[in-house]
């Protein structure tokens, strides 16, 4: 039985166990997908012990994506281009870092097929780096980066020389753009709200919020009120999870059942994150699981 997990700090909000558990069950695979609360201070040590405790790999979420990249023995081109890793795979030669965020970010935009010339990205972390990389792949010509920290925004602008940088302040009036992306944690449950105004966006603008908990963020609600197109965080979440699932469990997920999966994610129906045997392989003597690497609560 293959065992994988999602790790982050915090992690209780994660829907990844529900997604991977649904796919394991749908395919009839024996496997388990766990939720691990991992403090950044312990990440480097914990990542080196993934194989020792029987994990095939882990999905990585905030704030550990840069640490995951640094811990890898080999970095795939997708992670190197973005400068962050959201997937660590345990292989005989060591840890391999990958990034499926860019692929997941781009997929809903390709499905809609909008012609995008100008884009605005809020945030400057790992998700923002994936978004910026994906926008370049889509042929976007002009980029504005909005962030609370000008230093981090300038770091992100290294991926896009000539990008305009704006400081994020409450009530900021966003400049016109074909696409607005919230790649920050603002608006997420337990985080401060994202307080921006959309008045200057054109009527055909698209608003893409990567936050999925709650699904109806303040940004999404404001966009709907204006009649703008919306992509919510669940679309990217599922799209980035698909290649990770295949890498972790060796089978392509049943994407034909996406509508059923989305209904479960919205409704929070209990789908087990374990299929087949339920016991996590024991950590061998001499390689104890760090105290901060523990099974999360809820999710």
Per-domain residue ranges of the chain: 2-99+238-295, 102-235
Name residues whose C-beta falls within 8 Å of residue 164's C-beta, 6 or more positions apart in sequence.
142, 143, 144, 145
The reported pLDDT for the residue numbered 273 is: 55
Q: Which residues of 234-266 are buried (b: 16+ CB within 10 A; e: fewer)?
A: bbbbbbbbbbbbebbbeeebeeeeeeebbebbe
Interatomic CA distance for residues 18 and 11, integer angstroms: 13
From 3.50.50.60, 3.40.309.10, 3.40.50.10860, 3.30.460.10, which CATH number describes the 2-99+238-295 domain? 3.40.50.10860
| 65 is annotated as an active-site residue | yes
The reported pLDDT for the residue numbered 213 is: 86
The reported pLDDT for the residue numbered 298 is: 30
Specify the DSSP class assigned to residue 216.
S
> Residue 54: helix, strand or coil by DSSP?
coil
Are residues 93 and 124 in contact, defined by beta-carbon separation less than 8 angstroms?
Answer: no
Specify the DSSP class assigned to residue 120.
E
The set of long-range contacts for 39-43, using a CB threshold of 8 Å and a minimum separation of 24, is 39/9, 39/292, 40/9, 40/64, 40/67, 41/292, 42/290, 42/291, 42/292, 42/293, 43/67, 43/68, 43/71
From 3.40.50.720, 2.60.40.420, 3.40.50.620, 3.10.580.10, which CATH number describes the 102-235 domain? 3.40.50.720
Give the active site residue among 13, 65, 102, 129.
65
In a 10 Å sphere around its CB, with 0-12 CB exposed, 13-18 middle and 19+ buried, how is residue 28 labelled?
A: exposed
Interatomic CA distance for residues 131 and 31, integer angstroms: 31
The reported pLDDT for the residue numbered 268 is: 63
pTM for the whole thing? 0.85
Element (H, E) at 58: strand 57-60
Specify the DSSP class assigned to residue 22.
H
Q: Which of 230, 172, 228 is nearest to 196 (CA)?
A: 172
In CATH terms, are 2-99+238-295 and 102-235 the same topology?
A: yes
The reported pLDDT for the residue numbered 37 is: 95
pLDDT digit of tens for each residue in the chain (299 aa)? 999 999 999 898 889 999 999 999 999 999 999 999 999 999 999 999 999 999 999 999 988 999 999 999 999 999 999 988 999 999 999 999 999 999 999 999 999 987 899 999 999 988 899 999 999 999 999 999 999 999 999 999 999 999 999 999 999 999 999 999 999 999 998 899 999 999 999 999 999 999 998 999 999 999 999 999 999 999 999 999 999 999 999 999 999 999 999 999 998 655 555 543 333 333 333 333 444 344 333 33
């Amino acid at each position: 039985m293959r065992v994988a997990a999602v790790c982050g700090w915090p992690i209780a909000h994660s829907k990844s166990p529900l997604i991977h558990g649904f796919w394991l069950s749908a395919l009839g695979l024996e496997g388990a997908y766990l939720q691990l609360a991992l403090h950044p201070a312990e990440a480097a040590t914990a990542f080196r012990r993934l194989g020792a405790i029987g994990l095939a790999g882990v999905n990585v979420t905030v704030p550990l994506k840069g640490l995951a990249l640094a811990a890898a023995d080999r970095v795939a081109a997708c992670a190197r281009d973005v400068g962050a890793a959201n997937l660590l795979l345990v292989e005989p030669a060591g840890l391999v870092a990958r990034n499926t965020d860019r692929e997941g970010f781009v997929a809903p935009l390709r499905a809609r097929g909008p012609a995008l010339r100008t884009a605005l990205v809020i945030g400057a972390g790992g998700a923002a780096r994936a978004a910026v990389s994906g926008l370049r792949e889509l042929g976007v010509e002009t980029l504005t980066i909005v962030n609370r920290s000008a230093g981090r925004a300038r770091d992100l602008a290294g991926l896009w020389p000539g990008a305009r940088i704006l400081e994020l302040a409450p009530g900021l009036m966003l400049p016109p753009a074909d696409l607005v992306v919230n790649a920050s944690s603002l608006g997420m449950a337990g985080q401060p709200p994202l307080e921006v105004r959309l008045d200057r966006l054109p009527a055909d603008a698209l608003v893409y919020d990567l936050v999925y908990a709650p699904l109806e963020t303040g940004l999404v609600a404001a966009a709907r009120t204006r009649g703008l197109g919306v992509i919510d965080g669940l679309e990217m979440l599922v799209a980035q999870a698909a290649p990770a699932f295949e890498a972790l469990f060796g089978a392509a997920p049943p994407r034909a059942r996406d509508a059923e999966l989305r209904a479960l994610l919205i409704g929070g129906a209990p789908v087990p994150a374990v299929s087949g045997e339920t016991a996590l392989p024991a950590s061998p003597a001499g390689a104890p699981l760090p105290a901060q690497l523990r099974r999360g609560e809820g999710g």
